Amino acid sequence: MSREYRRNPEAISRLSPEQYRVTQEAGTEPAFDNAYWDNEEPGIYVDIVSGEPLFASVNKYDSGTGWPTFTMPLEQGNVVEIRDASLGTVRTEVRSARGDSHLGHVFDDGPPETGGLRYCMNSAALRFIRRDDLEREGYGEYRPIFG
């Protein structure tokens, strides 16, 4: 990758209260009341704090949960999975590797034909970059995945 991604204190200072609560305090936004749960545009989703490329629309699907959901990360090395027993049940938290933002959780009930995983993310942790803006935003290397 051509960029060096890192936790960006300036980006953190610009987060809305909801974005801060989700990314820095491991919060969860409301289902069906968030920016990307029903976004069908082609593009990629990056960490709102570090800019790390996380997910692509080609791997997004409607899980019926009300959050943006993906079958796999765009770059496996940009996500970290951590055991989470905070709600009395064991789940797997997903965080960005370099920005250390809480993104959501991954579950093993996704579509079997794509590996069986369901990455259920919070829109508040993500910034969407449209396919046509990838070059301008510095993510041109991902343009080929959209044909």
CA atoms within 13 A on the CB side of 90: 4
**The tokens of 68 are what?**
């943006």
Q: Domains in the chain: how many in total?
A: 1
DSSP 8-state assignment for residue 121: E
Is 94 a catalytic site residue?
Answer: no
Would 141 be classed as within a structural domain?
Answer: no
What pLDDT does residue 6 have? 76
Share the mean pLDDT of the chain.
94
Q: What is the pLDDT of residues 74-108, one digit of tens each?
A: 999 999 999 988 777 888 999 999 999 999 999 99
> Domain range for residue 57?
9-136
Instruction: State how far the Cα of 52 lies from the Cα of 98, in Å rounded to an integer.
Output: 8
- Can you give the CATH number for the domain in which 32 is found? 2.170.150.20
* Residue 3 within any structural domain of the chain: no
What's the first-to-final CA gap in the chain, in angstroms? 20
Alpha helices in the chain (DSSP H): 9-13, 17-25, 134-137
Provide mean pLDDT across the span 5-21. Answer: 90
Report whether pLDDT(136) > 50. yes
In the set 120, 121, 125, 134, the catalytic residue is 120
- pLDDT number for residue 109: 95
Domain contains 147: no
Instruction: Give me the mean pLDDT over the 36-40 stretch.
Output: 97
Position 99: which residue type?
Answer: G
- With respect to residue 1, please indicate whether it lies within any of the assigned structural domains: no
Residue 80 host element (H or E): strand 79-84
pLDDT of residue 4: 74
Residue 1 has pLDDT above 50, yes or no: no
What is the helix (H) or strand (E) element at residue 130, kind and residue range? Answer: strand 126-130
